[in-house]
Structure 1
Amino acid sequence: MTSGLRALTARGRSFIASGVAALLCAFLFGEHDLLRIGVLIVSLPLLAAMVVSRTRYRLSCTRRLDPPRAQVGSEATVTLRLENVTRLPTGLLMIEDTVPYALGARPRFVLDRVEAHGVREIDYRVRSDLRGRFAIGPLTVRISDPFGLVELTRSFSISDTLVVTPQVVPLPQVRLSGELAGGGDSRTRSVAAAGDDDVAPREYRQGDDLRRVHWRSTARYGELMVRREEQQWQSRGALLLDTRRYAHRGEGPRSSFETAVSAAASIGAHLAREGLGLRLVTDQGAEQLPDTGPGWPLLDALAMVRTSAARSLEYGIAALRQGGGDGLVVAIVGLLDVEQARDLARLRRGNMTGVAVMLDVAGWEQPEAAGNEHYRAAQQVLAGAGWRIVRLPSDASIASVWPEAAQRGRFALSGSGS
């Protein structure tokens, strides 16, 4: 009863105040009819409080996100499934789900009545122009009497997470030699040129092709052994994303930084479809990719990446050197001076393919300053070291300039007349 009185709405408190005033006036003036009216007015909210506070509704709630990951600017559907698990029908229910400001206004719904063991499903849409992980929930249910005099609030504890990933645009097919970590034809490597005695076998694992069984080693160790050199090698590559705050221009979703993140997501998704295993590196070093299933770790990591206060790429370049074995490195960079370009250029060695996606960040603030002398000088340094240059101005998409990745070194610059 006490909790019911605390849940009185403004209307309920007004009823009690009006009823008390009517009772006082009835005693002062001796009006029996006014006394009956006062008792009725006071009794209504008190009875409603008693009924609502003693109501034992048991509700269960589940939430479904479709899709659980959405790109920036696209919509996701949230489905709430509310079930009355008691034998009593509910009264009026007001439902409000908790969503972050970035996803829009809080959705509110009114359910007139849910029968015993009844189920109601409610859909609403959310949309975000910002990347990130957003918690949706918990759900709040407000129980009210038919007159709106008392309102009790009950909250569920469950919440779900919507991941908003960068925008991914389809890229045209471009042949990038050096994509594979290792050598040989196609996607396999054979190093058994000196005969079976030089083979380094390993134990058989479920799923290995039985044609790879090395019978001599199997007889020696007493268990199935397969030729290690005949395993299919995992294609490997690295994606370097420049997150330095001072290296980017513009604000919000149209800034050069958000363009760089979207380019990284598009290139990463494109290469992943080609079977390339990618690791993400920023100017802060190697990023730990979340274990979220095939195809998603890179996008989930890029959904959370933020700008840094770093002034150089030294930690990112060091992480790429330590990793080793990358057949392909794609560097998506903002503002570079000549010295930083030299540090990045020295990263390429041997048969490694280096692709530098260079954002012309000056154009994000002053379009007339695009392609300035510093930008061209950094391009010349990287192209001179054999990097493939992909220029990304403020008025172009990564899909329109990605074919430049097929041009090698100096040919990329000489062919464009820069």
Structure 2
Amino acid sequence: MQSELHNSLLPLGSFNRRLAFYMAAFVLFIVGFVFGVYHLCFLFAAVLSALLLSSIWVRVSHKALRVEVRGPCEVTCGDEIEITTEIANDGVLMRAFVEVALPKMRWLKPIDPEHAQRTVLLIPPKNTTSVSFRLKAQKRGIYEYKHVLMLTRDPFGLFCAVKAFPCYYRLTVLPRVISIPFMWSTAGYIFGELNESNGEMSSTGMEFYGVREYHPGDPWKRIHWKVTAHTGRLSVMEFEREQHGNAVLVVDCDKRAHWGDGINASIEHAVMLAASIAGELLRLGASVTLVAEPFIPTPGLAVESYGELKVLLYELARIEPIDAPSAIEVIHKARKLYGRSATLVAVLTEHSNDAKQVAQDCDICVSIHDGFALIEANALNVKHMLHLPSGEM
């Protein structure tokens, strides 16, 4: 990034430098021709002094400067964020013509590309100036800024210098959670928490717990209309179960099963669906255990309530395709460990090893295809097709 910034700005400085030299030579020639050698020597010394002072200005402008980067620690994929760079001048001299740029991150795109680099015209001594950058998080993951690049110029634009100032800023972009409404009926029947005759939540083992804000995917029959009318926001009734179901969510991380790159890669769809299914299951009252070999090895990471969903999202944010055990191996290991008491949910792709066998061994199987996902519930012999989002968010 340092070389990119330097090369993008240096040609302008080189052009200014050549133009200044040509103009200086022309002026010196005219002065020498009209006024004589004495005036020529005086003007030459003045020009040389100006060039020397400009060069010194550029070299000392970085002195006594400190940089700190601030911003949110976590965002969701697709969110817009603002990262602020604070530049402190601890010296006794004013600093001017300072250009600031963040290192380029492929999936953190500047909202306004023209403002990817910001110029600070003046930094008073013993003072701090802030520069903000607005970015859009296009892909989940963990992003780290370990330095900020600063370019200084002289007032005439003849010289420039680039320096990387060390800093540390870590941003976690969490996967998106989308609504999968039919997971309520599919998983609900498997957990035995829905009445087969009318599809409503059974009162057996359910006690009223309280009222909370509506989340996408919550059944409309649970809306508490009095609280909604009083607060002006959709609110739903929450129940506490005497016994919680247990779901084991397995994500196939084997790179042989995945394809594509960037925001439309199959692993991105798999992680998004895993996060969404985990959210739906937790809202149903089931505890969810996440297994994603080798990032989260068996026995996995377990959470008990919807309020802990972010714990799973943090783990899902760092998953990438890698040399990993095949899906069938992980499924057999999980089934052997948890037995039939747990509902086994697998998220894989159409290219996963023994995908058909995996689908038969799971209670719920989510298979990623090109442009859509197929969700199968073997216990109910039902299938749902879900269209996957594509393109930039």
- The bucket for the TM-score relative to the shorter chain is 0.5 to 0.7
Q: Which of the residues 49, 54, 78 maps onto 1:48?
A: 54
Q: Which of the residues 357, 360, 364 maps onto 1:355?
A: 364
Count of residues in Structure 1 that have an aligned counterpart in Structure 2: 320
| 1:72 aligned partner | 77
1:260 equivalent to 2:266? Answer no
1:63 equivalent to 2:69? Answer yes
Letter in 1 for 2:385: L
Distance 2:258 2:327 in 1: 14
1:110 equivalent to 2:119? Answer yes
* 2:328/2:357 contact within 8 Å kept: no
| 2:44 aligned partner | 38
Q: Which of the residues 266, 276, 280 maps onto 2:290?
A: 280
1:334 equivalent to 2:349? Answer yes
Determine helix, strand or coil for the equivalent of 1:161. strand
| 1:316 aligned partner | 330
* 2:328/2:354 contact within 8 Å kept: no
* 1:242/1:333 contact within 8 Å kept: yes
Q: How does 1:10-409 map to 2 (within 5 A)?
A: 10=14, 11-12=16-17, 15=20, 31-54=37-60, 57-66=63-72, 68-104=73-109, 107-172=116-181, 173-174=184-185, 175=188, 177-178=190-191, 185=205, 236-244=246-254, 247=257, 252-254=262-264, 256-273=266-283, 276-282=286-292, 286-287=296-297, 294-308=308-322, 312-324=326-338, 327-335=342-350, 340-342=355-357, 345-346=360-361, 354-359=363-368, 361=369, 364=371, 383=378, 386=379, 389-394=382-387
| 2:220 aligned partner | none
Q: CA deviation at 1:72?
A: 2.8
Distance 2:123 2:310 in 1: 39
Letter in 2 for 1:335: E
Determine helix, strand or coil for the equivalent of 1:141. strand
- The 1:308/1:96 distance shift into structure 2, 3 A limit, reads closer
Distance 2:361 2:158 in 1: 75
Which string of whole-angstrom CA distances, capped at 9 and with x for unpartnered residues, describes residues 41-73 of structure 1?
22211022234445574233322223x333333
What TM-score, normalized to structure 1? 0.60
Letter in 1 for 2:132: D
Which string of whole-angstrom CA distances, capped at 9 and with x for unpartnered residues, describes residues 326-364 of structure 1?
6332222332799654455346xxxxxx222344x2x64
* 1:98/1:138 contact within 8 Å kept: yes
- Bigger drift between 97-106 and 49-58 goes to 49-58
Give the superposed CA RMSD.
4.5
Determine helix, strand or coil for the equivalent of 2:316. helix
Runs of 5+ in structure 2 lacking a partner?
A: 1-9, 194-203, 208-241
Distance 1:306 1:119 in 2: 40
Distance 1:156 1:290 in 2: 41
Distance 2:180 2:247 in 1: 17
* 1:283/1:315 contact within 8 Å kept: no
Which string of whole-angstrom CA distances, capped at 9 and with x for unpartnered residues, describes residues 260-289 of structure 1?
321111112333455644332247684476
Q: CA deviation at 1:320?
A: 0.9
* 2:145/2:169 contact within 8 Å kept: yes
* 1:355/1:390 contact within 8 Å kept: no
Determine helix, strand or coil for the equivalent of 1:159. strand
Letter in 2 for 1:91: A
Determine helix, strand or coil for the equivalent of 1:253. helix
Distance 1:120 1:332 in 2: 48
Letter in 1 for 2:88: E
- Which of the two has higher C-alpha Rg? 1
Determine helix, strand or coil for the equivalent of 2:126. coil
Which string of whole-angstrom CA distances, capped at 9 and with x for unpartnered residues, describes residues 91-131 of structure 1?
22111121313323582111111223323222221124333
Distance 1:169 1:31 in 2: 80
| 1:216 aligned partner | none
- The 1:389/1:86 distance shift into structure 2, 3 A limit, reads farther
Distance 1:249 1:121 in 2: 42
Distance 1:83 1:281 in 2: 46
Which string of whole-angstrom CA distances, capped at 9 and with x for unpartnered residues, describes residues 204-226 of structure 1?
xxxxxxxxxxxxxxxxxxxxxxx
* 1:62/1:80 contact within 8 Å kept: yes
* 1:76/1:125 contact within 8 Å kept: yes
Letter in 2 for 1:239: L
Q: CA deviation at 1:14?
A: 6.3
Distance 1:396 1:23 in 2: 67
- The 1:396/1:40 distance shift into structure 2, 3 A limit, reads closer
Runs of 5+ in structure 1 lacking a partner?
A: 1-6, 188-231, 348-353, 398-418
Distance 2:295 2:120 in 1: 52
* 1:80/1:122 contact within 8 Å kept: yes
Letter in 1 for 2:290: L
